[in-house]
Amino acid sequence: MKRKKTAIISQEEARDQDAETPASVTDGTQTGFLLPLAAFLVIPVTIIYMELLAKAQIFDTVFDDWFLCFLLPCASLAFLTGAIPMLLPGKHCRRAIRIILAVLAVLFSAHEVYFNIFHTFFSWNNIGEAGGAAHFWREALISVGKVWYLIAANLLPFILMCVFGKRIAPDKSRARIPFAAAGAVLFLGLYLPALLMINSFRETKDQNNPYYHYNYIQSNIDQTFRFYGILTTTRLDLKQLMFGAPVETIDINGLQDFSDLISVSESDIAYGWNKMDIDFDSLEKDETYSLMDAYYKSVSPTRKNKYSGIFEGKNLIFLTLESFSTPVIDPEFTPLLYQMSTEGFVFRNFYNPTWGGSTASGEYAIMTGNFSPYTKCLNLSADTYQPFAFGAQFKKKGYKTLAYHNYIGRFYDRDASHPNFGYDFKGVGSGLNLKTNTWPNSDKEMADATVDEFAGLKTPFHVYYMTMSGHMQYDFAINRMSKRHEKDLPEKYNRVSKELRAYYACQYEVELMLQVLVDELKKNGNLENTVFAMSADHYPYAMTNYGLSQLYQLPGPKIRNKINLYRNSFILWTPTMTSPVVVDTPCTPVDILPTLSNMFGLEYDSRLMMGTDIMSDGEHVAPIKLLGWSWVSTQGEYLSETDTFTPNASCTLSPEMQQKYVENMNEYVKAKTSFSKLILETDYYRHVFRK
């Protein structure tokens, strides 16, 4: 009789068989229902867990007033995602769950690392700058070290699925069509009520509401993340990237410029207006251009004033200072900076908001007089017509126009944008050769390498510098400029944190750079005929909250939501000034271009810039993107997070008028920010000046 052969299997195969046993149980048993239910719930539970963790860590809150707006869209998308693997059998279902969990871990971790570096969220509209992100590998590694626990928490569901996956989705289990259908039903059952709730806020005047941040995410994408979480905002962001963003509805006829709140003297009226002869009615139309033409036609131009043309014919050196802040200025440590900041125009109400969360958006605001929420704004501007940029305006007047940056010239596509702004541009690798190559590079060495190209010119010149030495990280072991100047710090700085000492040390390069420029201009007889202007690209957002609280003398909790964190210096000085001019008008970097255009007697149309001549009459406002659009105006301060207006001592509004004023000003700020974005996106100046 033939002997039956014994089957030999490994221990792993035996465990797999044990794991598969529950799947063979009929669907009517408890085990047969619980395993598919567990597989179905893995992804929804993971998504909600990651979203709650991110919300608690980044925004220091979970159960806020808008929790349902966060939970319903998040849960609906979570159940829909969880339904997808249920359409697949056995190991394919398990692999799909693992892939989705891995993608979620990468997505959430990447946003958390990015936020830790820039203190703003990544938008897919900035995908054109993805290559530039490689230049921040040092910051990325440091940030990974700071948020390692979040990364580990995001990876945990994926790891658990790798370990226990065969128990949840055995190899020979069938597709769970009923659970896939249940996922689709739950998606609709949660998503439709969510849309109804969101749309119920459609007519709300306040921008800080669910409808606004669901539909117009690029106005303030950080607030959309706060309202809706990472996954829902990513979906909205990608949707608008692929299909276009909706144009905000703005009641142009209802806007007020508040000019009636400020008295105008007869002498001011006699100066005339900063505007050009533009026939908006004759321009070619489409839906967007028609809206924009109607808006700019309705805007009141600014008046010329006693400062119009006071610098006409003079040279201009403009410096955008990397991460600079007013507390750096010190009579002992930075005497030349102190002289320039106290003996020239003193702007005591200047703010440096982070509209787009990067140097690029800050630089773009200074150079164009417009806002941009995009990191890739310089890249986008390279293909647009920019007649009002400093380089273009001064070149039209016969000036020599030069621009320099002591980092890689192609970074942020400056080698394309700055020539389009009217400059002969040099960066590292694009014609600029520095004595040393460090991280970051030396501002003084940039001045040494370039000053001879213009200091001795007998014809007018305009020079633009974008500095680098003040760049993060603020650590003596990483930042070579901090290490280079550690010994130059006055003894009084020993009382502050190591991080803050490193920050002061690297910013000392600005002082040394200015000394080089002033000395060479003086030697060549050009100093008396030169105007210096400088402003930061943004506040030093890479500093810890503790470092910022020391630097700005502000309380630490929620320090990044405080308006005074963004108060900074706009320095405007020429050695021929006999006494300082103190200016209390609220202003931001977008106001610099129209202000200097007026002072240098350049031809521009004040209606077509979102910035305003700081020295002009009328109502002024400094929009600051916090949680929603906050602002400081001639009348007072509005904080969007709490929807509160605090009138200042010179406010001319009655208590009855203040509420109406806030509503109108919010619409006014929305119009400025929205139409500013459209200028870039539609190449509007080419449309206006097509001839």
Is the link from the previous residue into 440 a cis peptide, with omega within 30 of 0? Answer: yes
The count of domains in the chain is 2
Same domain, 292 and 324: yes
Which DSSP state fits 153?
A: H
Same domain, 560 and 637: yes
Split at pLDDT 50, 70, 90, the class of 261 is low
| Residue where one domain finishes, among candidates 243, 263, 288 | 243
**Residue 118, pLDDT above cutoff 80:** yes
Same domain, 607 and 681: yes
Q: What is the CATH number of the domain that holds 657?
A: 3.40.720.10
Query: Rounded to the nearest 5°, which phi and psi values hold at 629?
Result: -90, 110
Look at residue 457 and tell me if it is in a domain.
Answer: yes
Same domain, 509 and 553: yes
Same domain, 256 and 236: no
Same domain, 336 and 450: yes
Give me the mean pLDDT over the 300-329 stretch.
96
Same domain, 153 and 283: no
Same domain, 348 and 224: no
Same domain, 348 and 497: yes
- Amino acid identity, residue 191? Y
pLDDT for the residue numbered 306: 94
List the one residue out of 663, 676, 684 whose CA is nearest residue 206.
663
Say what the pTM is.
Answer: 0.89
Q: Are 632 and 591 in contact (CB under 8 A)?
A: no
Give me the mean pLDDT over the 292-303 stretch.
92
Model confidence pLDDT, tens digit, residues 349-362 = 999 998 776 799 99
**Residue 4, pLDDT above cutoff 50:** no
List the one residue out of 506, 505, 426 whose CA is nearest residue 466.
426
The full DSSP string for 294-358 is HHHHHSPPPBP-TTTTTTTT-EEEEEEETT--GGG--TTT-HHHHHHHHHSEEETTEE---SSSS
Q: What is the mean pLDDT of the chain?
A: 89
pLDDT for the residue numbered 254: 61
Alpha carbon distance 328, 247 (integer Å): 41
Look at residue 604 and tell me if it is in a domain.
Answer: yes
List alpha helices for 371-434, DSSP H. 377-381, 390-396, 414-420
| Residue where one domain finishes, among candidates 208, 243, 278 | 243
| Residue where one domain finishes, among candidates 189, 222, 243 | 243
Model confidence pLDDT, tens digit, residues 635-691 = 999 998 888 999 999 898 998 899 989 988 988 898 898 899 999 999 999 999 986
Same domain, 150 and 298: no
Alpha carbon distance 600, 580 (integer Å): 18
Higher-confidence residue of 114 and 445: namely 445
Please tell me the least confidently modeled range out of 138-152, 385-399, 540-554, 571-585: 138-152
Alpha carbon distance 271, 428 (integer Å): 45
Look at residue 71 and tell me if it is in a domain.
Answer: yes
Cβ within 8 Å of residue 342, ≥6 positions away: 580
Look at residue 9 and tell me if it is in a domain.
Answer: no
Higher-confidence residue of 122 and 444: namely 444
As a whole-number percent, the residues of the chain with pLDDT over 70 amount to 91
Which DSSP state fits 607?
A: G
Q: Which domain holds residue 212?
A: 14-243
